[in-house]
Structure 1
Amino acid sequence: MLRDSHTPYESACFYCITSAIYTPFFILGLFLSNAYMLAGQNSYIPVYVFIVIAELLKYAYIQLVYHKDITYSPKQGFKLFSIIFYFMKQIKVIELLRNVLVMTGFACIVFVIAVLFGAEVLAKHEETMMFSCLITVLTVFPISLHQGVVSIMQFLNGIQGNDAFTQVLLRNIQFTVLGAWLGAFVIPLDWDREWQVWPIPCSLGALLGFAVSQVFSLVELFTKFSGKSTKLNSKYR
């Protein structure tokens, strides 16, 4: 969970820039290797692992750069063990369990919603659960990692923070869910394509929505920052 010693705007910019760089290439790799066709299968788990590792790396960088408890200087070298030890100290078992329970519950909610929208309960239950896990990893996991389980409950209750980083995480949810929803439109079309099978279009749409949200958030951040800079300049003239 992020502390108050960082700048939300700078953290948000770093998060969006890195995500906007690697996500399109990752999706392109899925296309070129036809790995996107594995959506809904156990073979798709490496995609989840990649997303989780990417989020962990972004979290680690933000903590290392903005957290007061770690002082890093290039002249001192890369103190890997001290960094690992620091993150191990930050892990609280109870909070970790709460996060896991909340994410599991959210995945079950997505599963039920998918069924209500037409996903088969018995014949495609494994595919639907894998899709639910993908949505959870793309939306709830970043909130859980960067801001904690309390923020997840606030998001679910419609309570939104005003800082830049919270807005970025909110855009993640909005665009990811929108992308998954738009992906469902091609499933009933009679094009007879292999990629029209549930949940391939929705999974791909969710990934594309996540990628678009990073670009949108980045533009939004720069627009707000430039607007504030203009106001400050005009104020001190």
Structure 2
Amino acid sequence: MAALDETQNGMLVTFYSALSCIYFPIIISILYFTDYLYIIGKNSFLPILCLFAVAECIKYLVGNYRFVRKDLPIGRRQDDRHGKKGSMRNRVREFFKSGATLVAMSAVYFSIAILFGAEAFSKHEETYMLSLLLCVLTIFPACLNVGAHSVLSLLLGIRPTPDLLGVMLVRNMQFTLFGTWLGAFVIPLDWDRPWQAWPVPCSVGALLGHTASNLIMLIIMVPKLSTSYSRTVKLGRKDW
């Protein structure tokens, strides 16, 4: 992704967070009211995971065009066209690197879940579906926006870029993983509720944590952008 100035970066992050705050609650509500919530650890949940991945791709493509490509000077766009072959080669390489990263991280998440007490054999399908959900929520957006090479830095809480996009990606990872961990607390309670079955509470915790992270980012960014816009308008009036 091309380097953005502070205002563009803020608008991109606000756009990402706003869309997430819209479609995540909608999907979670649909899962709850249609009882699809209870298949969250089954292979039949894969279409929902694909839906999340497609939504992330749409967010990235629209945001990249609206706040990055559209604002490039004509000369830069022409240079990009001339370097299309090299760019395509890099994209193919990045695609395979991202795929390998997602596979590797799903195995890492699976192993961590086992270490935290998940059943390795009798519940392996449920555990792996949770690891796939975590990959879609944490690793996939990072691969799209900053590249597969930055995933480890993000997971360690290190921003790969000193901007708001890096802050958002790190915070989303932290809140998603914290929500997953928090959801595990209700599993051993003797309430005998269907939503206590592994890995439903952890998966719901991950979704709610991700949504909360984006909501907090949106609450932070809207006043900042409003102030920045007011300052720009005042400067424009002075110049006029």
Q: TM-score, normalised by structure 1?
A: 0.83
1:178 maps to what in 2? Answer: 178
Task: Using the aligned pairs only, state the percent identity.
Answer: 38
Deviations 1:83-128 (A, max 9, x none): xx9xx94872221111111111111111111111110001111111
2:105 maps to what in 1? Answer: 106
Query: Which amino acid counterpart does residue 110 of structure 2 have in structure 1?
Result: F
In the alignment, is residue 123 of structure 1 matched against residue 111 of structure 2? no
CA drift of 1:70 comes to 8.8
CA drift of 1:219 comes to 1.3
Q: 2 CA distance for matches of 1:34 and 1:132?
A: 21
2:75 maps to what in 1? Answer: none
SS at match of 1:189: coil
2:22 maps to what in 1? Answer: 21
How do 1:192-211 and structure 2 match up within 5 A? 192-211=192-211
Number of equivalent positions: 219
CA drift of 1:5 comes to 5.0
Preserved CA contact (<8 Å) 1:164 1:221: no
Q: 1 CA distance for matches of 2:213 and 2:157?
A: 19
Q: 1 CA distance for matches of 2:171 and 2:88?
A: 31
Q: Residues 223, 174 of structure 1: CA spacing in aligned structure 2 closer, same or farther, 3 A cutoff?
A: farther
Preserved CA contact (<8 Å) 1:95 1:149: yes
RMSD of equivalent CA atoms: 2.7
How do 1:48-67 and structure 2 match up within 5 A? 48-67=49-68
SS at match of 1:213: helix
How do 1:141-180 and structure 2 match up within 5 A? 141-160=140-159, 161-180=161-180
SS at match of 1:165: helix
Q: TM-score, normalised by structure 2?
A: 0.82
Query: Which amino acid counterpart does residue 170 of structure 2 have in structure 1?
Result: L
Gapped regions of structure 2 (runs ≥ 5): 73-83, 235-240
Preserved CA contact (<8 Å) 2:11 2:67: no
CA drift of 1:148 comes to 0.8
Query: Which amino acid counterpart does residue 216 of structure 2 have in structure 1?
Result: F
CA drift of 1:8 comes to 1.3
Gapped regions of structure 1 (runs ≥ 5): 72-84
SS at match of 1:24: helix
Query: Which amino acid counterpart does residue 65 of structure 1 have in structure 2?
Result: R
Preserved CA contact (<8 Å) 1:187 1:201: yes
Q: 2 CA distance for matches of 1:91 and 1:35?
A: 39
2:77 maps to what in 1? Answer: none
Preserved CA contact (<8 Å) 1:5 1:68: no
Deviations 1:2-57 (A, max 9, x none): 22257211110100111111111110000010101001101111110110110011
